[in-house]
Every structure is written in structure tokens, then in C-alpha cells.
Amino acid sequence: MSEHVNDSYVQRAHKEGYRSRAAYKLLEIDARDHILKSGMVVVDLGATPGGWSQVAASKVGGGGKVIAVDLLPLHPINGVEFIQGDFCDDSVLAQIENKLGSKKIGLVISDMSPNISGINMTDQARAMHLAELALDFSLLHLQSSGAFLVKVFQGAGFEEYIKLMRSYYARVVTRKPDSSRDRSNELYLLGTFKI
């Protein structure tokens, strides 16, 4: 807890009105890779408390759309349409599709992490499963020039996952933003140019 309170990104988020320090991870990745564009449709998977959705909504502007999904409630954010539910459920997928209508997505971002059980193997398997579902979703719904950003954890299944992403995206890069804690084995993978 004291690490969290003393964390400079937590303090900055508080000052700058972001709901989470995670906002800075997306801001950093976007500053380098320019994935968020005005007018774009973005789907944010695992959105609560909402830092990434805030960043996405401000970058896509009024002409764009952000659809956010989480198991937990999300306090409303201007420009963000929220669906509360489990991304693994078909009914949640149907709700996303319903909100999309005929629109294709320009960017899928997934920061989903499962509830930590403390059993390493189980947690890693759950995290990989969520990342796989997010990848499947991106392949179905992204426009061909779109991008897919996903959080993964280094461990069992990680190498296979990158290989899989490389079979679907012409360019896959790994990103470890400064705002991602050093001791965390999380990494972000960014796929562009769907094959």
C-alpha cells in the first residue's frame, strides 16, 4: 500500500485527473507508436478503473468511439460506452458487436488481468487465456490497418503467444513502459498490419 501511495505515477495520476497510473503506460506507448488517432473506434478490454479509456476517449475525440468492457463497474467517462460483464461470455461479445454496428475497430487494447490466486501456474494460464481471447477478438473485428495492444505476462505460454501473434500480424513489437513497475513481469505486445 505504501509503495502505491509513494509511487510517482500514482501521485501524477491523482494530480492530472487520471483514474489509474495505468494511463501513463498507454500514453507512453502511444507517444512512441502513435496508435490512437482522432475519429477512431477503440475497444478497451479490462477497462476499470478507467485510465486507458480516459486516454483513448480524449485522443479519438467526438468523432470517434470508445467501447469499454470490464467485470467491475466503471464510473462514467465522457465519450466511453461501457459494458459490464465477463469478456469470456458470448453475451458480452454480442453487446460489443451491437454497439459497433457496421463499424470496424481501429484499435483493440487489452489490459485484462485475472484475479490473482497466488498459484503461479493457474494465474499465468488464466492470463494467457484472456490474452488469447483478446487476440481472437482483434482478428475478427479489427480493420486491416488496425492495431492490437495486449498485456501479457512472461512465463508459461508467453513464447507461443508471441509466435501466434506473429502469424497473424506482420509487425509485433514488445513494449515495457517506464510506468510499468520493474518487478512486474508484465509486458505489452503491439501487433500491426493484420496478415
The residues of the shown chain that bind ligand SAM, judged by CB under 6 A, are: 19-20, 22-23, 46-52, 69-72, 86-88, 111-114, 130
Amino acid at site 1: M
The residue (of 71 and 162) whose beta carbon lies closer to ligand SAM is 71
The sheet that has 41-45: what strands, in order across it? 80-84, 65-70, 41-45, 105-110, 142-153, 186-194, 169-175
Strand partners, 152: 187
| Spatial CA neighbour of 47 closest among 68, 29, 66, 65 | 68
Q: Are strands 105-110 and 186-194 parallel, antiparallel or unpaired?
A: unpaired
CA atoms of 22 and 92, how far apart (whole Å): 24
- Quote the Cα angle for 37-38-44, to 5°: 60
Active-site residue 151, yes or no? yes
Coil, helix or strand at residue 8: helix
The residue (of 88 and 121) whose beta carbon lies closer to ligand SAM is 88
Q: How far is the CB of 169 from ligand SAM (least distance, A)?
A: 21
Q: How far is the CB of 72 from ligand SAM (least distance, A)?
A: 5
The residue (of 145 and 174) whose beta carbon lies closer to ligand SAM is 174
The residue (of 29 and 163) whose beta carbon lies closer to ligand SAM is 29
Q: How far is the CB of 93 from ligand SAM (least distance, A)?
A: 11
Task: Give the active site residue among 37, 104, 151, 163.
Answer: 151
Q: How far is the CB of 117 from ligand SAM (least distance, A)?
A: 13
Cβ of 61: how many Cβ atoms within 10 Å? 12
Q: Are 12 and 27 in contact (CB under 8 A)?
A: no
The residue (of 23 and 67) whose beta carbon lies closer to ligand SAM is 23
Q: How far is the CB of 137 from ligand SAM (least distance, A)?
A: 11
Which residue numbers are catalytic?
Answer: 151
